[in-house]
Structure 1
């Protein structure tokens, strides 16, 4: 029965011209994953449209109120959006987190179901003995899900940016938080493509579904943590000196701050005199502490796109290398 099914699949793959019916075969073989992906997209679209609709009420919910009302503050009972800000923040946060971690299930699926299972059951080898070459087989296996994943993820990223409205950090988080940074730019798409290619490579290396799942998950976990650890190093940080280093805006991602002593020594993470607002108090504090100046390194909000694009570039390079390695390994293992 399995042989007949496999031959039927091969026959289908031979239909449709030069590229064959391979794309349609991939879609049919993985229709469950396709349906799940479609359902996830619909759910995310619905949530983000809802979040955009309640965005104004959520912003109003952050404003002060009084009970009873005063001349300057409205009645809290009249502010219908008093809890809408929590709903909005949770909704945006859930979608952002889902986008940030999407590469893990994609990699596991690619390693197990997309590649590993067919190699383990030998249906791929049967297809190769017909008119479907190994290169065409792997090309279709990667191209079809890559197109669907990239399109769907791009749509959700655009809707996520749209739903965030004015990017109020009290509602949607600061731009430099990992989930926020990843889910509001092309890095989200690059993460998914990296997960897909690493999963496919894991499937080709192990040739078994279950081990491929573990290897793919481990590889993407290492990649994610390395980028998370060194993200701030992907673009040169700005250095601020003087009093401005003590009062950096919230929109700045502070990496390190410190002071310079009267002897010229730089002390990192020195909090002396940070709490003073008055210039005279700051000078007195500096004199008592033996300090000559302050400094801080930070990423301002203007570094969002440089960091975003650098991370995207790294991920696409990983995806390209994993794809090249997968094809090279396939050629070595097949006639």
Structure 2
């Protein structure tokens, strides 16, 4: 596996260019030599100017043309949406070819993406489509809490329907394999219930007994240290306190809210079970502050650090 990290610039009108440039500028010489930004050079130069940073971007940018670049900061446009897609597409192809070992994605704007004719619900769906993968799971990782999701960008009604025994079991397996890969030999996995108090024996719904409990039993039969379903109002507190290495959340907000409460600026979004590796910042394009040179790049640093851990075989660097 290549040890080069490929950072996609994200929406050219958002804060992606700034956090990419600032992260690159702070790297040591060795790490910088193993980093490429998939984006647009005029936009990155404009971001460098906004930041007041003196760094030579030569040799660190896979430069893709964007009509009218640099585009106005903070303005939604299909041109920017199409550019964001092309940056990712090029990085995916290079990852598939072994040119880079992991993709780190800066934020995209879903409205701009769809306005450009690229109809995806976000990075994960796009990456699944570009790689031809049948499944991909969103895992949010922080120092004390890690969460993997059975479903993400769907309505709550659809999310309940997606929490089938088969899908919950597949999510448990995916999370278990990923944690083993990053150096946790016997992951302790908690599976959150979907109903209040896991349904209270059918009083508040039967999905936990009929769908989730059988998935946990099947995982345990395979030798996975899985527990649940556990009421969602306590399971994240228990995991944060060290009781579990990973929580399987049944839907988007169930997993995102606790992570963003305890690790808003440091949590990393990891795509699991794709044929390529990808990590991401866990924030948006922040159009309201784009181009002002004030965007916090701490989350980008965390995503890059996790990516380097993946390309080094799970070892912390």
Bigger Rg over Cα? 1
TM-score for both structures, normalised by structure 2:
0.22
> Greater relative contact order: 1 or 2 (C-alpha under 8 angstroms, separation 6 or more)?
2
Higher strand share goes to which structure?
Answer: 2
Higher helix share goes to which structure?
Answer: 1
